[in-house]
Chain A
Amino acid sequence: MLQIPCPWCGPREDAEFDFGGEADIQRPADPDALDDAAWADYLFMRVNRRGVQREQWVHTAGCRRWFVVERDTVTNEILQASTMGRRP
């Protein structure tokens, strides 16, 4: 079982979290300006890295915050976890 370090709550069991895929995928500011291929790129295309990946998690059964994790997708080792900044 993977222990995931929530930057707020500390390490918890993976059952408390949901995975949100690669981090740093920005929603295009003006979707209409993109052609179909560029839009598909944003929607579907992923690096799916073998190695260290920046990714998003949410502490669903805990503080409900989304945060960013750096994890090695081969060893599952988590190198870092950081908050996404607070609102408002």
Chain B
Amino acid sequence: MSQPYRLPRGGRIDRGAPLQFTFDGRTIHGYQGDTLASALLANGAALIGRSFKYHRPRGIVAAGAEDPNAFVQLGRGARAAPNRLATVTPAAHGMQVRSVNAWPSLDYDVMSLLGLAAPFIPAGFYYKTLMWPRRLWPLYERVLRRAAGLGRAPSGPDPDRYDYVHARCDVLVVGAGPAGLAAARAAARRGARVILADEQPQPGGSLLASAERVDGVPGHAWAAAAAADLAASPRVTVLPDTTVFGLYQSNLALMVERRREQPGDAAGTERGARTWRVTPRRIVLASGAHERPLLCANNDLPGVMLASATAAYLHRYAAAPGSRAVFFTTNDTAYRAALDLAEAGVPVAAIADVRADPDGRLPAEARARGIQVLAAAAVRRVLGRRRVAAVELCSLDGSPRGVVECDLLGLAGGFAPALHLHAQAGGRTDWDPALAAFVPRRSNGVHPAGGAAGALGTAAALRQGAQAGASAAAAAGFTADAAPAPPGGGPELPSAQDAPDLGFQPYWVPPNALGRVKPQFVDLHEDVTLDDLRLTLREGFEAVEHVKRYTTLGMGPDQGKLANPLATGVLAELQGLHPAAVGAPRYRPAYTPVALGALAGRSVGALSDPLRATPMQAWHQAAGARFESVGQWRRPLAYPQRGETVHDAAARECLAVRRRVGLLDSSTLGKIEVNGPDAGEFLERVYVNTWKRLPPGRCRYGLMLGEDGMILDDGVTARLDERRYLTFTSTSGAAEVLAWLERWLQTEWPELRVYLTSVSEHWACLALAGPRSRETLAAAGTDIALDRQAFPHMTFRAGRVAGVRARVFRISFSGELSYEINVPADQALHVWETLLECGRPFGIAPYGTEAMHVLRAEKGYVIVGQETDGSVTPLDVGLRRMLSRRKDFLGKRSLSRPALLRADRKQLVGLRSDDPAQVVPEGAPLVDAPSRRRPLPMRGHVTSSYHSPALGRAIALALVSGGRASLGERLYAAAPDDRWIPVRSCLPIFYDPTGARLHV
């Protein structure tokens, strides 16, 4: 047993469950119930890290989430957990814990030499230097970056899963200290649904860290019983280990529940976490208060601790934080801690009290116990190398009061309510002069209570808690008389000893009489000193937010929980301002850091984003298709066969369509039924072309513009009957187009009697294309007459295909004879397989989007999003003749704006490379003549470019400034490898310009 600082009795630890872990390789012994910090203290390890900037030795300061120093690295490899706080991390057997920011070792850290240079590295140092010579900045930066940072990121993907839960309640209680427990009980007794969350593994808050009694039993026992009673009620959810890290809009509370290892895990494994997303009606903020440190020189040495933390280690963990203590205080609370330490056998050498006449009950008790109490006194300086060795005391007038040897200095600078969540949510605060701290104002559905409301003392916390719980419940609609069976026993307001008047006296900046001893740290994590603040003010950075940004005060992983309340007072005093005029830097989520994985929740891996599937998806997969992402879909790009590349396969598929027959799964197209007496009128308004006179049974290609005149989407619309049209949209435009149409209908033209219904998912779409598609369709079995007169181009028929009822559209995106066969999705696979089977004698091949792209490019058909980019009009792509002159339509007026009529606009043309084998890279810019000059004016760019298997040459489409007027001109495309590719522009149609193949 090597726990020299472990007390023989007491503590909320399980002495029957010893454990050990390593810290920088050294074995540390502890018990179940210890935190890393308490075990380290019990083992006498005071030095646990190096500071962020100067690499000064640092130890444990607090016993909770507010500690600015105790950041360690846990675990290794993919399970590594950087920057975990030792004061809140439960110790577990077999853990590997390492210090951060020290090299080669914690004791002998090379970078600590920086401390010597500290006088030359004040706040704002970097802005004033490292500018010369400019070339060297990258080098300087590399050095800076290496020195900065804290822990190391994991080395592999996170093996853990994170859970995510939505919850609702009437009252959310933050904190399960006396105030929170009383609040939860009061609210639950009124019938409210309550969630009680506390970041600690056990309920009780400050009760765990004191010897106080509640209702005649030890505080911790009362808390445990009260929490158990609450948990037994079906209306109450008690969540230990759960931090409320953010309060967002509409008081949405985000909480994260830590999950520890599971059976069979390596010890201390963090098993992800569960995020709770709670929508409460009311919130009771019972998050307690944080003690403020005090300034003196070397106040950062290991062994300097908050007075309340010394008591916490003593009572909760039975770990003596030192062997001989001195306290430095502004109020009576330190006396309680000092008495408790002395009681536990840790001698208290002295209490330096800044008050002239500390005469309360507790000081009297201390004196009676023989503790030396120095009034109107302060700690001037802490002495020691890697931990406290002594403190130098003096009177406030500067006269020395001796050097006292000790290894523990307890600081008691008063308490600041933990109002972070309240302030995050925009809640107001008031300056409480008695407390010298900001206290929350009840607002926005947040009811503060206990320490969080500025109350000191358990009795007050219980009282306020019960009141807040009752008023929160009432505000949520629950009153005392409506109460169903109350959870648990015990009185609503348990009894406890009222705290004595603490007699607080502010002490911010040590009086000048004490001399300018340094360094005095205001923010331990960020190594911000009192002198830094002075300098910062001198340089004119006076607003508290400026001070923060210039010095990085409060910007560390602790977010200045200790530093900020201290800094407000210090800055006020240095500037002669009221603290309320100084204010505090803005509070933001997260209260304590939260893993990105926890926020992602279940939305990771296969569940990160829905992958949508067509009815033929499994077939494509089995057929060895290569896929491409199109929005949330994965569409077959091509179906390579043995030894084929995607490119080879697409070429083969193209030829199959041009010469024989191919089958494409185009189920992803959007399909909207436009239904009602005014359907035609509606289409007239949203499309550039006309619809009312389209006869039932016929199809027409349509173009839709934004009000700015730019092409929004295109596609074929068929008239199903007098009052019904079916509109096809592009795959990526499906949702957007429906939303766009619905919006106009509802907000602008409610008088139109039209209903829009998306039928995209109901109808699968199989595009059968190629000269032998008619024979294939016939072979598959259909009752539709297929001959040219009976079923001409741009018409549709209803009937059966392969035994399934179908809508068949004779429309074509390939330029070949083509049937787009729509069948109910649940029978589509059957039809797909039948067509392939029956098409085999005709040489059918399934084809993918790559072949589809090539085929349409050969015909010069544009793809919205490829030829267009939100800045392209129908005029630009040569579709002027589609625009109706007889009617208005969305976007029409925009087309006559001067910039849209300019002759030098980019217009769609075809390109042929001089070398027919040379496929011009897509996206390549086009210029008039090669040149090394930069900038070199650009004429346009290549929008689509392929090798055309049908033509045996490269073809491309491009947008070229003034292109339509100068067809045949020579241009040069710049390849990414800086070669120039000579091309000539042409009409954007390469194959079957007369469209003869469509009308067969």
Q: Using a CB–CB distance below 8 Å, which chain A residues touch chain B?
A: 1-3, 18, 20, 26-27, 30-32, 34, 36, 39, 43, 56, 58, 60, 64-66, 75-76, 84-88
Bound-state CA distance A76–B892 (Å) is 36
Task: Determine if B866 is an interface residue (Cβ-Cβ < 8 Å).
Answer: no
Contacts of B752 in A (CB 8 A): 87-88
Bound-state CA distance A80–B682 (Å) is 31
Contacts of B977 in A (CB 8 A): none
Bound-state CA distance A31–B752 (Å) is 20
Question: A22 → chain B, closest Cβ, in Å?
Answer: 12
Contact across chains for B739 and A31 when beta carbons are under 8 A apart: no
Contact across chains for A43 and B894 when beta carbons are under 8 A apart: yes
* Interchain residue pairs with CB less than 8 A apart (12): A1-B252, A1-B277, A2-B250, A3-B279, A18-B739, A27-B707, A32-B893, A58-B746, A84-B747, A87-B754, A88-B750, A88-B751
Contact across chains for B739 and A87 when beta carbons are under 8 A apart: no
Task: Determine if B264 is an interface residue (Cβ-Cβ < 8 Å).
Answer: no
With both beta carbons as reference points, the residue of chain B lying nearest to A31 in the complex is identified as B893
Contact across chains for B745 and A87 when beta carbons are under 8 A apart: yes
Task: Determine if B742 is an interface residue (Cβ-Cβ < 8 Å).
Answer: yes
Contact across chains for B745 and A58 when beta carbons are under 8 A apart: no
Contact across chains for A84 and B750 when beta carbons are under 8 A apart: yes
Bound-state CA distance A26–B748 (Å) is 7
Contact across chains for B248 and A1 when beta carbons are under 8 A apart: yes
Contacts of B751 in A (CB 8 A): 87-88
Bound-state CA distance A30–B897 (Å) is 16
Task: Determine if B898 is an interface residue (Cβ-Cβ < 8 Å).
Answer: yes
Contacts of B898 in A (CB 8 A): 36
**Also in contact, A66 and B888, with CB within 8 A (given A58-B739, A88-B676):** no
Contact across chains for B750 and A85 when beta carbons are under 8 A apart: yes
**Also in contact, A43 and B676, with CB within 8 A (given A32-B893, A56-B747):** no
Contact across chains for B708 and A43 when beta carbons are under 8 A apart: yes
Contact across chains for B897 and A36 when beta carbons are under 8 A apart: yes
**Also in contact, A65 and B746, with CB within 8 A (given A2-B249, A31-B888, A88-B676):** yes
Contact across chains for A1 and B250 when beta carbons are under 8 A apart: yes
Question: A81 → chain B, closest Cβ, in Å?
Answer: 14
Within 8 A of A (CB), among B663-681: 676
Contacts of A32 in B (CB 8 A): 888, 893
Task: Determine if B612 is an interface residue (Cβ-Cβ < 8 Å).
Answer: no
Contacts of B708 in A (CB 8 A): 43
With both beta carbons as reference points, the residue of chain B lying nearest to A1 in the complex is identified as B252
Q: Mark B403-432, 1 if CB is under 8 A from A, else 0.
A: 000000000000000000000001000000
Task: Determine if B880 is an interface residue (Cβ-Cβ < 8 Å).
Answer: no
Task: Determine if B753 is an interface residue (Cβ-Cβ < 8 Å).
Answer: yes
Contact across chains for A31 and B892 when beta carbons are under 8 A apart: yes
Bound-state CA distance A44–B638 (Å) is 43
**Also in contact, A87 and B746, with CB within 8 A (given A18-B739, A32-B888, A43-B707):** yes
Task: Determine if B743 is an interface residue (Cβ-Cβ < 8 Å).
Answer: yes
Contacts of B279 in A (CB 8 A): 3
Residue from A39, A75, A85 in contact with B897 in the complex, judged by beta carbons closer than 8 Å: A39
Centre residue among B248, B252, B898 by max chain A CB count within 10 A: B252
Contacts of A20 in B (CB 8 A): 743, 747
Q: Using a CB–CB distance below 8 Å, which chain B residues touch chain A?
A: 248-250, 252, 277, 279, 426, 676, 707-708, 739, 742-743, 745-748, 750-754, 888, 892-894, 897-898
Contacts of B745 in A (CB 8 A): 87
Residue from A27, A31, A39, A84 in contact with B746 in the complex, judged by beta carbons closer than 8 Å: A84
Bound-state CA distance A64–B738 (Å) is 11
Contact across chains for B250 and A3 when beta carbons are under 8 A apart: yes
Contact across chains for A88 and B747 when beta carbons are under 8 A apart: no
Centre residue among A30, A56, A65, A88 by max chain B CB count within 10 A: A88
Bound-state CA distance A39–B707 (Å) is 10
Having A1-B252, A36-B898, A43-B708, one finds 6 other A-B pairs with CB under 8 Å, namely A3-B279, A26-B748, A31-B888, A31-B893, A32-B888, A86-B750
Bound-state CA distance A20–B279 (Å) is 26
10 closest A-B pairs by beta carbon, nearest first, are A31-B893, A88-B753, A1-B252, A66-B746, A3-B250, A87-B750, A2-B249, A66-B747, A39-B893, A36-B897
Contacts of A85 in B (CB 8 A): 750
With both beta carbons as reference points, the residue of chain B lying nearest to A85 in the complex is identified as B750
Bound-state CA distance A39–B426 (Å) is 41
Contacts of A18 in B (CB 8 A): 739
**Also in contact, A1 and B249, with CB within 8 A (given A27-B748, A87-B752):** yes
Question: A48 → chain B, closest Cβ, in Å?
Answer: 18
Question: A74 → chain B, closest Cβ, in Å?
Answer: 10
With both beta carbons as reference points, the residue of chain B lying nearest to A60 in the complex is identified as B739
With both beta carbons as reference points, the residue of chain A lying nearest to B742 in the complex is identified as A64
Bound-state CA distance A76–B676 (Å) is 39
Bound-state CA distance A34–B897 (Å) is 11
With both beta carbons as reference points, the residue of chain B lying nearest to A32 in the complex is identified as B893
Question: B104 → chain A, closest Cβ, in Å?
Answer: 48
Bound-state CA distance A26–B750 (Å) is 13
Question: B280 → chain A, closest Cβ, in Å?
Answer: 12
Bound-state CA distance A86–B750 (Å) is 7
With both beta carbons as reference points, the residue of chain B lying nearest to A65 in the complex is identified as B746
Question: A79 → chain B, closest Cβ, in Å?
Answer: 14
Contacts of A75 in B (CB 8 A): 426
Question: A77 → chain B, closest Cβ, in Å?
Answer: 9
Bound-state CA distance A76–B728 (Å) is 38
Contacts of B250 in A (CB 8 A): 1-3
With both beta carbons as reference points, the residue of chain A lying nearest to B747 in the complex is identified as A66
Contact across chains for A87 and B753 when beta carbons are under 8 A apart: yes
Contacts of B892 in A (CB 8 A): 31
Question: B885 → chain A, closest Cβ, in Å?
Answer: 11
Contact across chains for A58 and B743 when beta carbons are under 8 A apart: yes
With both beta carbons as reference points, the residue of chain B lying nearest to A87 in the complex is identified as B750
With both beta carbons as reference points, the residue of chain B lying nearest to A23 in the complex is identified as B747
Contacts of B248 in A (CB 8 A): 1
With both beta carbons as reference points, the residue of chain A lying nearest to B893 in the complex is identified as A31
Bound-state CA distance A15–B892 (Å) is 34
Contacts of A43 in B (CB 8 A): 707-708, 894
Contacts of B742 in A (CB 8 A): 58, 64, 66
Question: B557 → chain A, closest Cβ, in Å?
Answer: 26
Contacts of A1 in B (CB 8 A): 248-250, 252, 277
Question: B751 → chain A, closest Cβ, in Å?
Answer: 7
Contacts of B894 in A (CB 8 A): 39, 43
Bound-state CA distance A6–B259 (Å) is 37
Question: A83 → chain B, closest Cβ, in Å?
Answer: 10
Contact across chains for B249 and A76 when beta carbons are under 8 A apart: yes
Bound-state CA distance A56–B897 (Å) is 28
With both beta carbons as reference points, the residue of chain A lying nearest to B676 in the complex is identified as A88
Bound-state CA distance A17–B323 (Å) is 62
With both beta carbons as reference points, the residue of chain A lying nearest to B277 in the complex is identified as A1
Centre residue among B277, B676, B707, B708 by max chain A CB count within 10 A: B707
With both beta carbons as reference points, the residue of chain A lying nearest to B709 in the complex is identified as A43
Bound-state CA distance A38–B707 (Å) is 14
Contacts of A86 in B (CB 8 A): 750
Contacts of B743 in A (CB 8 A): 20, 58, 66
Question: A72 → chain B, closest Cβ, in Å?
Answer: 12
Bound-state CA distance A75–B751 (Å) is 35
With both beta carbons as reference points, the residue of chain A lying nearest to B254 in the complex is identified as A1
Bound-state CA distance A58–B334 (Å) is 59
Bound-state CA distance A18–B739 (Å) is 10
Question: B169 → chain A, closest Cβ, in Å?
Answer: 15
Contacts of B888 in A (CB 8 A): 30-32
Centre residue among A1, A32, A85 by max chain B CB count within 10 A: A1
Bound-state CA distance A36–B250 (Å) is 42
With both beta carbons as reference points, the residue of chain B lying nearest to A38 in the complex is identified as B893
With both beta carbons as reference points, the residue of chain B lying nearest to A83 in the complex is identified as B746
Bound-state CA distance A26–B707 (Å) is 13
Contacts of B676 in A (CB 8 A): 88
Bound-state CA distance A68–B56 (Å) is 59
Bound-state CA distance A86–B752 (Å) is 11
Contacts of A87 in B (CB 8 A): 745-746, 750-754
Bound-state CA distance A30–B748 (Å) is 14
Bound-state CA distance A17–B309 (Å) is 48
